[in-house]
Amino acid sequence: ETGVTQSPTHLIKTRGQQVTLRCSSQSGHNTVSWYQQALGQGPQFIFQYYREEENGRGNFPPRFSGLQFPNYSSELNVNALELDDSALYLCASGTATNTEAFFGQGTRLTVV
Amino acid sequence: GQQLNQSPQSMFIQEGEDVSMNCTSSSIFNTWLWYKQDPGEGPVLLIALYKAGELTSNGRLTAQFGITRKDSFLNISASIPSDVGIYFCAGQLNSGYSTLTFGKGTMLLVSP
């Protein structure tokens, strides 16, 4: 039990639609990162937020966007969904001074 | 996106056997981490390594941070059925703000 919760756990969307995934960070954590994990692969970094601002981004297009709220919860938004966006989306929370990041259980997104 | 080279890709062993897996990178990392992921769950941190040459244990698990800072290995001694899962290595340049770069994972199956 990491204290990081994600919702929903599963989601099916149609190509071209938009989706919002949510993450509630562990108490005391002020950074949140989002990762995409395709089947059979390791997680790939999407972006990270600290104090409500994006402070790092991986190789993902602008249609992947996010928000971090004052209570350190976070959202991942994906516009114009493509079939290849089907994956497990993980959020991880931590602190700016500590390496150790704690992952939620993920949201399984299927785009049809 | 970049992924670390992790081997072997999968292992099928008998309960009680020792297991060894490793991870290499073309880039230097200042922190190496090892995670375990069960089906339908997010990765759970097993061991974190912060110094080149460091050898750290967590129960039956032992991990080492390579001298060159470009590799790490994980050993599991006296494996048990609950060790089944996918093991990921991850490298990080700096604490807190820095992203995690993951390997593709090693799937471990343990026969009772």
Q: What is the pLDDT of residues A87-99, one digit of tens each?
A: 999 999 887 776 6
> Contact A95/B101, CB-based, under 8 Å?
no
Q: Checking phi first, is residue B78 left (phi over 0); if not, alpha (psi -120 to 50) or beta?
A: left
Residue A1 confidence class, pLDDT cut points 50, 70, 90: low
Q: What is the mean pLDDT of residues A64-91?
A: 95
Element (H, E) at A49: strand A44-50
pLDDT cut 70: percent of chain A above it = 96
pLDDT in tens, A3-35: 899 999 999 999 999 999 999 988 788 889 999
What is the amino acid identity at position A64? Answer: F
CA B98 to chain A, closest CA, distance in angstroms equals: 8
pLDDT at B98: 65
Determine the distance from the C-alpha atom of residue A97 to the mean position of all C-alpha atoms in its chain, rounded to a whole number.
Answer: 20
pLDDT in tens, B31-69: 999 999 998 899 999 999 999 999 999 999 999 999 999
Q: What is the mean pLDDT of chain A?
A: 92
pLDDT at A101: 82
Q: Which residue out of A2, A6, A21, A99 would a mutagenesis test of the B interface target, given it has the greatest number of B Cβ atoms within 10 Å?
A: A99
Could you tell me if B88 and B44 are in contact, meaning their C-beta atoms sit under 8 angstroms apart? no
Determine the distance from the C-alpha atom of residue A48 to the mean position of all C-alpha atoms in its chain, rounded to a whole number.
Answer: 9
> Contact A105/B88, CB-based, under 8 Å?
no
Find the residue in B nearest to A49 (Cα): B97
Q: What is the mean pLDDT of chain B?
A: 92
More confident position, B2 or B35: B35
How many angstroms separate the Cα of B26 from the Cα of each of A22, A73, B69, B73?
34, 35, 10, 15
Residue B5 confidence class, pLDDT cut points 50, 70, 90: very high
Could you tell me if A2 and A100 are in contact, meaning their C-beta atoms sit under 8 angstroms apart? no
Residues 6 or more apart from B92 whose CB is under 8 A from it?
A99, B29, B30, B31, B32, B33, B98, B99, B100, B101
Among B1, B40, B41, select the one facing A59 at the smallest CB separation. B1
**Partners of A100 in the beta sheet?**
none
Chains A, B: CB pairs < 8 Å: 80
Q: Which residue out of B6, B88, B99, B102 would a mutagenesis test of the A interface target, given it has the greatest number of A Cβ atoms within 10 Å?
A: B99
